[in-house]
Amino acid sequence: MRSFWMGLLIVIAVVVVIAVGSSVWLFWRINQETVTSLVVTNPGGRVGKALLVYQPGLTKFPEQVTTAFVSGLAAAGWQISRTTASREAPVPDAAYDLIIFGGPVYFEAPAKPLARYIARVGDLGAKPVVILLTGAGDVAGAIAATERIVIAAKGRPIRSLGFTTMKPNDEQGKYSGSNTERALQIASEAGQKLSPATQ
């Protein structure tokens, strides 16, 4: 019986140390801005110019969804300038016809660096905005919060897309593959279909 309590104590000590340590580090990590250079996809695109500002997540899923959406936009003829949300990211000026904000959802809210970027820009000049969020579970609350942030920054949300790893993305069964593969197909198709709505 003594070894049982000793085992329990050891496990509790190990778990507390790991849980506290990893939580502190991860919390710092998700609030950190990631600085990347501006990458232009489909520079010859004639449909319009889009600026995509996103926050990479702790998993590869947000990046994969963003890439799928960009490939759809490029296929539809858009020129897309893509960068991460930071103080180094460009301000969406008159050169852009469309703004896309993307990133992961933590605690049912959009990633802090993305929200800070939108607040810092302040005035999106009534430009059309697409919101592209990814989460493990329900993303509806985070989408609503992001839409409020965009409207407060004088942006015009025209499409909000949410994708998850643990809730069905394709409830009608229109696409094939795993839940995440379906998310990528939907994101790509949404990118392709976007052009007429924003012109």
For other proteins, the closer CB: 9 or 152: 9
Q: Answer yes or no whether residue 76 interacts with other proteins by CB under 8 A.
A: no
For other proteins, the closer CB: 55 or 79: 55
Q: What is the dihedral of CA 143, 145, 150, 151, to 10 degrees?
A: 110
Q: Answer yes or no whether residue 15 interacts with other proteins by CB under 8 A.
A: yes
Which of 33, 63, 167, 192 forms a contact with other proteins (CB under 8 A)?
167
CA distance 185 to 117: 28
Smallest gap, in angstroms, from Cβ of residue 121 to other proteins? 25
Q: Write out the binding residues for other proteins, residues 102-161 only, by CB under 8 A.
A: 104-108, 135-138
CA distance 132 to 62: 9
How many residues belong to the site for other proteins (CB under 8 A)?
39
Which of 34, 41, 67, 165 forms a contact with other proteins (CB under 8 A)?
165
Smallest gap, in angstroms, from Cβ of residue 144 to other proteins? 17
Q: Answer yes or no whether residue 41 interacts with other proteins by CB under 8 A.
A: no
The closest of 39, 21, 37 to 29, measured between CA atoms, is 21
CA distance 137 to 160: 16
Task: Give the bridge partners for 81, in sequence order.
Answer: 40, 51
3 state SS for 28-69: HHHHCCCCCCCEEECCCCCCEEEEEEECCCCCCHHHHHHHHH
Q: Answer yes or no whether residue 4 interacts with other proteins by CB under 8 A.
A: yes
Candidates 25-33, 47-55, 77-85, 114-122 — which segment interacts with other proteins by CB under 8 A?
A: 25-33
Going from the C-alpha of 168 to that of each of 4, 103, 123, 173, the distances in angstroms are 42, 19, 35, 9
* Footprint on this chain of other proteins (rule: CB under 8 A): 3-4, 6-8, 10-11, 14-15, 17-19, 21-23, 26-27, 30, 57-59, 61, 104-108, 135-138, 164-168, 178-180
